[in-house]
Structure 1
Amino acid sequence: MNVFIVRPFGTKNNINFDRVETELIRPAMRAVGLTGGTTGEFVQQGNIRTDMFELLLIADLVIADVSIHNANVFYELGLRHALRDKRTFLLKSAGDDVPFDLKTDRYLPYDANDPAASVGALARALEATLDSQQQDSPVYQLLPDLEPADPDKFLIVPLDFREEVEQAEARKSPADLALLTCELEGFAWRAAGLRLIGMAQFRLKDWHGAKTTWKAVREYDDMDLEANTQLATVYQKLGDMVSSDQAVERALQSRAITNEARAEILALKARNAKTLWTRDWEHLQDLEARQASALMSPHLERSYHLYCQGFSEDRNHFYSGLNALAMLTILTELAQVQPTVWEDNFDAPEDAPLTLQKLKRLAADLAAGVKLAIASKRAILARTQQTDTWAEISAADLSFLASTRTSRIGQAYKSALAGADAQARESARNQLVLYQQLGILTDNTQAALQHVAPSGIEKVPEQAAPRVILFTGHRIDAEGREKPRFPRSKETQARALIHEAVEAERKTATGPLLGIAGGASGGDILFHEVCQELGIPTLLYLALPQDAYRAASVADSGAQWVERFQRLCEVNTPIILADADELPRWLRAKNEYTIWQRSNLWMLQHALTKSNDNLTLIALWNGDVEDGPGGTEDMVNRAKERGSAFIHLDTRTLLTDA
């Protein structure tokens, strides 16, 4: 996340504020993983006021030093309090008295003579501020109905970043989208970029990736409407109904939610209840047992009521109304075929038939409302010369629920599904099969299924993801390298280390193995050769096209390595990251980040995706810390965060071998 620092400059009132930033604020920010700066960094650009206003608005966190009475600090602090309702943090040394308007605000005290002593306290306080959803702006505390500015509306996501997201989606590559997610760290427009990626992952049905991305968006605001709406569906697809319902409740608390959106998300919650209801009975083999279990399940009525709530929010939302009618019809039909089970719901047996008749009247009223909603939708479609298969299927579903004319029902489905895609046919059929499994509405079901043939969608059994061995390691040292890492004379020993590590993985593997590595002279090529000897297939990932990569990462090691690289490319068609070594324009501002760091992260994300997180990272590495994203240390840390195994082949042992 990004920070904007509001403070005096230079030494004032015997406080060196530049030192305070260097020794206190910056170290605390680094400890929490924050980036950012002050207006002083924009002076030479000639538009300090514009930048200052923008940063006060879009910064995820503002740190303001109110140690002395400084007009600029108080002006900027006032602007922040007016623009954003939360995440403004105050700190103060022993200087001037705090102004009256800020006396009730909390702040972190520090010693101006030893600012570094408070780094730990400030880091903990910043973490707590980021985690808190409480308002700290006195403006919004006193005016609770005031809506804070939405920073995303003022942030421009670079065009070439948008294009990269579109290209990754077109390639249907969740791994490339995950790479972009990692690379957004440190950019002021990160949240807006995450939204683009999250929507692409959603469309690709990359539910695990979408969950990670939308949770990252929600870190900015627990009650983010879009994030919670997306997470509600994502969790549903992953089978986590509790988390889905929790996301729904958060979305419903948003002030920005429309009636149409409320109807949609209530219908999603109703769908969760319906899923839990089917789990209660679908495993039973005996028909009467299925019927009894389905009728007794509390999720049946809960689903019905939630669909009704959705339809009440928006009478044009025929989907929720139609499904409310379906659940109510199932309830009344089951009550008739299982009268004893139905009566057990009432203290007085005579109440059972009375309630059933009341529910049937409700169903008739509901059917009339749904009929009007569908008719309205079809009229709009006709007027605008558009078609909607789902509206036509809904009309057929309504006929199924409200009519006893089996020939009319069959014709309705035949017309609705003419030209429908496989997904639409499968959805319509699944609902009809549900009635069939419960043994209700049998005549209508038989008539409909005659015209709703199986979609032809074959459920291909999911193959177990391979265990992936991802390799990263040093190149062979250039002649005369000042600080040796991998001397040419130690190739045999390095090969033995790699062979031992890969062989150990092969012996413990319970399924298929796959190796992934680059093609640089040294560790990369040795890894591919070892895997080939052990019968393990590998994928060759190159940061640049083959000729450019050879020139950059192989040629200076000599003809022998070039020949081995060429042989490797002949048996493993290279997978290429980029056409040139220049980063995309949107990435060039990222400190200490090159195409080579990007290549490391790219391979890591592909390995994690292909292995479904069943990954071992082998690093032929001297253990030196490499700053910036994409370095070996960063790769190791990211892999460990995902639960990956890590094998460190320390090249320092090569230097100590006799």
Structure 2
Amino acid sequence: MLPLCFVLMPFGKKAIPSGATVDFDAVYHDLIAPAIEAAGMEALRADQEVSGGVIHKPMYERLILCDFAVADLTGANANVFYELGLRHGVRPATTVLLYAGSERMPFDVAPLRALPYQLGADGKPTDVEGARQALSKLLETARAARGDESADSPVFQLLEGYTAPDIARLKTDVFRDCAHYAVEARKQLADARRAGKDALKKAAGALGEVQDLEAGVVIDLFLSYRALSDWQAMVDLVAQMSAPLARSVLVREQLGFALNRLKRRDEAEELLVELIKEHGASSETNGLLGRVYKDRWDEARNANELLKAKGALSKAIDTYLKGFEADWRDAYPGINAVTLMELKNPPDPRRLELLPVVGYAVKRRLAHGTPDYWDHATLLELAVLQKDEDAAMEAAGNALAAVRESWEPETTARNLALIRAARAARGDEVAWAAVIEDELDKRAAG
């Protein structure tokens, strides 16, 4: 079997201190991965693990146990440097460094040998063939020098008598099999999601006991159920998870989301309030809790329980607002707060101050990152609130093109319907918004 080579690098498009934007995915696919393959190795990239801050063990297994590693230091990414430090602490050699040649290497690693490569104006690597060959040659040299005393780790270079842990004793076929198993499981789950709920349940059964699965696979399955709106399956899966995984923030947040969708609102509220007490307000947790209070408002309003509805609406606005204040970069709780302020009778005057702030937040995200469905949906709601038909139609088209899961357009359509109904009650019609609602509902149903 080919030796594994772990890749430490950012992913996606990232701005770096020099002001340039680097397409790290292009660096990986065009330069690093082919060079690793040419050197007779198999690449494993850190971002292939499910993200969210809870899947540490599989990443550390690969980082420490892989025979070889490549680290891209471009932009001085904190995660990359932390992972490199771990690697240098247990591996005396077989770690190859590279960086964009126009960048200055940080002081702490400036003395280390690193391969420079060049970037074009589009943030993608240039002279790819030459850079591939140079990187492949360094990996081949590292492979030939295994067992040599020439270390590339500054820890082993500077600390006399420091010896590496007995990694060979820990390395077994189980690790190698698990690396491939996780990749195969991800593919099986992706195929099953496209086929529907029955296929996903069948695929889940084929994976084996949840307690025995790699954490990344469990999270993938958990979010696959969410993608197909199988809320009960999400709840059932959490009950089967290991205690550390079930207690993670990501799992508890999404469990709260599923419980609320099942109308088990008291349980959802208790869980999310506990999370906020433990970790403080956050855009995600508060956004989910705000949805609980928003649904209570809607139910009370429909039942003509006006005082109860008024209290729930105020609580929802306050919760969403705290989530937005916890991280101004995340416009999702902000747009929900603004929308609910519009639904009050009379409308909450604070919405006029908040609208441009939410607009700025989402526009900065669109300018500096890879936009997702919620970014476009936020612009859509903002345009409807501001009665800008042209902007709303454009944002609606972009949102529909970015839909990932059916509950997303369903949520947006519901918000737009609430805005339209509230304004109609005040004699302020926005009839054209109904066309957008219909398209969102069709996409949710499809």
TM norm structure 2: 0.50
Deviations 1:320-373 (A, max 9, x none): 111111112222436xxxxxxxxxxxxxxxxxxxxxxxx51x222222321221
Task: Give the equivalent residue in structure 2 for 1:539.
Answer: none
1:37-85 Cα distance to aligned partner (Å, 9 max, x none): xxxxxxxxxxxxxxxxx9xx99xxxxxxxxxxxxxxxxxxxxxxxxxxx
Q: Within 1, Cα distance between the matches of 2:429 and 2:276?
A: 37
Identity over aligned pairs, percent: 15
Matches within 5 A, 1:569-608: none
2:329 is aligned to 316
Query: 1:429, 1:191 → 2: CA distance?
Result: 34
Using the alignment, how far apart are the partners of 1:169 and 1:399 within structure 2?
34
Match of 1:270 in 2: 290
How far apart, CA to CA, are the structure 2 residues paired with 1:231 and 1:174? Answer: 19
CA separation of 1:319 and 1:226: change in aligned 2, threshold 3 A:
closer
| Contact residue 389 and residue 417 of structure 1 kept, 8 A | no
Distance 1:185 1:454 in 2: 39
Inter-CA distance 253–223: structure 2 relative to 1 (3 Å threshold): farther
Residue in structure 2 matched with residue 378 of structure 1 by the alignment: 366
Give distance in 1, aligned partners of 2:296 and 2:396. Answer: 28
More helix by share: 2
**2:251 corresponds to 1:227:** yes
**Partner residue, 2:270:** 246
Residues 245 and 251 of structure 2 are in contact (CA less than 8 Å); yes or no, is this contact kept in structure 1?
A: no
1:168: Cα distance to partner? Answer: 4.3
- Give the whole-Å Cα distance in 2 for the aligned partners of 1:294 and 1:458: 35
Q: Is the 8 A contact 1:270 1:306 kept in 2?
A: yes
In structure 2, list runs of 5 or more residues that go unmatched. 1-56, 62-173
Shift of 1:375: 2.7
Pick the aligned partner of 1:206 from 221, 224, 230. 230
Aligned to 2:377: 393
The question of whether the paired residues in 1 share the 8 Å contact of 2:296 and 2:309 is answered with no
Aligned counterpart, 1:331:
344
- Contact kept, 8 Å, 1:414 with 1:452, in 2: the verdict is no
CA distance in 2, matches of 1:454, 1:294: 34
Structure number with bigger Rg? 1
On the 8 A contact 2:283/2:333 being kept in 1, the answer is yes
Tell me which of 435, 439, 452 is aligned to 2:419.
435
> What is the letter of the counterpart of residue 396 of structure 1?
L
1:170 maps to: 191
CA separation of 1:450/1:179 partners in 2, compared to 1, >3 Å: closer, same or farther? closer
1:418 corresponds to 2:397: yes
Please say if residues 321 and 370 of structure 1, whose CA atoms lie closer than 8 Å, have aligned partners that are also in contact: yes
Q: For residues 230-257 of structure 1, what are the alpha-carbon distances to aligned partners after superposition, in whole Å with 9 as ceiling and x for unaligned?
A: 21122122221222223323433555x8
1:225 aligned partner, one-letter code: V
Q: Could you report, residue by residue, the CA deviation over 1:508-561 in whole angstroms, capped at 9, with x for unpaired residues?
A: xxxxxxxxxxxxxxxxxxxxxxxxxxxxxxxxxxxxxxxxxxxxxxxxxxxxxx
CA contact (8 A) 1:400 1:444 kept: no
The one-letter amino acid of 1:176's match is: K
**How far apart in 2 are the matches of 1:449 and 1:244?**
31
1:438-587 matched pairs, under 5 angstroms:
438=422, 439-440=424-425, 442-450=427-435, 452-455=437-440, 457=442
The answer as to whether partners of 1:214 and 1:230 remain within 8 angstroms in 2 is no
C-alpha distance in 1, partners of 2:294/2:384? Answer: 19
Partner of 2:354: 366
CA distance in structure 2 between the partners assigned to 1:283 and 1:186 by the alignment: 43
* Contact 2:235/2:259 (8 A) holds in 1: yes
Q: Cα distance, 1:184 vs. partner?
A: 2.4
Q: Which runs of 5+ in 1 are unaligned?
A: 1-53, 59-153, 285-291, 335-358, 461-658
Contact 1:311 1:321 in 2 (8 A): yes
**Shift, 1:227, TM fit:** 1.8
Larger displacement relative to structure 2 (420-429 or 197-206): 420-429
Report how far residue 398 of structure 1 moved.
Answer: 2.0
Distance in 2, Cα, partners of 1:278 & 1:269: 14
Give 1:215 shift. 2.7
Equivalent residue, structure 2, for 1:184: 209
Note closer, same or farther for the CA distance 1:163–1:431 as it changes in structure 2 (3 Å cut): same
Match of 2:180 among 140, 143, 159: 159
Contact 1:307 1:324 in 2 (8 A): yes
8 Å contact kept, 1:165–1:200: no
In structure 2, C-alpha distance between the alignment counterparts of 1:266 and 1:293, rounded to whole Å? 24
Distance in 2 of aligned mates of 1:197 and 1:264:
20
Query: CA 1:227–1:180 in structure 2 vs 1: closer, same or farther (change >3 Å)?
Result: farther
User: For the Cα contact (< 8 Å) 1:195–1:214, is it kept in 2?
Assistant: no
**2:247 aligned counterpart, secondary structure:** coil
CA-CA distance at 1:302 after TM superposition: 0.4
CA gap of 1:160–1:324, structure 2 versus 1, over 3 A, is same
Distance 1:159 1:251, change over 3 A: farther
When the two chains are superposed, the root-mean-square deviation of aligned CA atoms in Å is 3.7
Q: Which residue of 1 aligns with 2:118?
A: none
For residue 278 of structure 1, report the CA deviation from its aligned partner: 0.4
Residues 226 and 234, structure 2, Cα contact 8 Å, conserved in 1: yes
Q: Given the two structures, how large is their TM-score scaled by the length of structure 1?
A: 0.35
Q: Could you say if the C-alpha distance between residues 388 and 297 of structure 1 is closer, same or farther in structure 2, counting changes exceeding 3 Å? A: same
